[in-house]
Amino acid sequence: MGGVKQGDKAERQARKAARRAEKQKRHAAPDETAEQERLVSAFEREEREGANEDSRRLLAAEPPVLDDVQRELAGRLSSDGIARIRFDELFPAERWPELEAHARTFTNEVEERLAADPTRKGGKAGFLERRYDRGVEIDPGDPWLRVGLSARLLDVVNSYLGLWAKLTYLDQWYTVPMPDGAARRASQNWHRDHNDRNLVKVFVHLSDVDGGAGPFEYVAGSTRDGPYARFRPWEPFSRHYPPGEEFDERIPASAIRTLTGPAGTMILCDTSGFHRGGFATERPRILWRYNYTSPASLVLTPRRFTIAGARLPADLSPAARFAVG
């Protein structure tokens, strides 16, 4: 009975969120509406014939040479919108201890805060602690930045997107378990990301993630020409949180992927497709996250970090320099 009540509550909240978003869209201030229209027009221009066209030419001039592992990842992104792999299948295993040690400092800080104040629920969204604030300066030698700019990962992303991508976000997330009876909130409900027509997010599990840790869930085939791409399709500035009954009618359970996995699991996904996650109920979900988008998307959503001193390692590839330039 309790599960039914919780599900009903989540359903009501999802419907309210959808109605609220539609109301905000209808009643947006004229200045805000005009600004959004200007940004969308600029995005479409850059996507069609501006920065994205330049970026596509750069990829065509220096196409990445993928090995079998990278080709399989890019292929799964193209067919399903999502791919999963172990970190040590894509990178040397000896890199993991340094990355894990770097991440542990933040994990320890969060858990000390939670131990001191058990009622704490997380950050602004109420369930999430982030390592970095918006506009943070990242040290150019940061080991996680080096992973995000490595050819092993960036070549897969660029091959899928068909251009040289921009790395617009990197951060460590600690998902705080929700209290008993809590309903899903915000990004814990099914939605599409609004900031680019196609984009790639990469999640790296830093803890074991099972059903009680709020695993990422994804609708395979909800991007590009997939069978579910036309259900509430992507558009700039839209925040699609379809009511649960409508979602259930249009999306079969067989299309939903639940991405559990041990620490060291990597998930690559195009989040212009439907997804949700972070509804932890029993234990925290700890992960590192990257966002890769087209250059045009920077018109809609600016990069959230800078490189300290604007100094980049000398051994970075041209594509990596472009990613943070």
pLDDT at 3 over 90: no
Distance CA 110, CA 250 (A): 39
Residue burial 138-157, b: 16+ Cβ < 10 Å; e: rest: bebeeebbbbbbbbebbbbb
Domains of the chain, each with CATH number or no CATH: 2-324 (2.60.120.620)
pLDDT tops 70 at residue 10: no
Instruction: Work out the percent of the chain whose per-residue pLDDT is above 70.
Output: 86
- Among 235, 182, 173, smallest CA distance to 209 is for 173
Q: Is the pLDDT of residue 166 over 70?
A: yes
Does 259 have pLDDT greater than 90?
A: yes
| Residue appearing with tokens 């617009």 | 168
- Residues 222-260 as b or e (16 or more Cβ within 10 Å = b): bbbebebbebbebebeebbbbbbeebeebbeeebbbebb
Give the Cα separation of 61 and 57 in Å (integer).
6
pTM (two decimals): 0.88
Encode pLDDT of 87-116 as tens digits: 999 999 999 999 999 999 999 999 998 888
- Residue 124 reports pLDDT greater than 50: no
Nearest-angstrom CA–CA distance, 241 and 186: 8
C-alpha distance across the termini of the chain, in Å: 54
Q: What pLDDT band is residue 28 in, cutting at 50, 70 and 90? A: low
C-alpha closest to that of 153 among 268, 314, 57, 312: 268
Q: What is the CA radius of gyration of the chain?
A: 20
pLDDT tens track for 279-320? 999 999 999 999 999 999 999 999 999 998 667 878 899 999
Q: Rounded mean pLDDT of 266-270?
A: 98
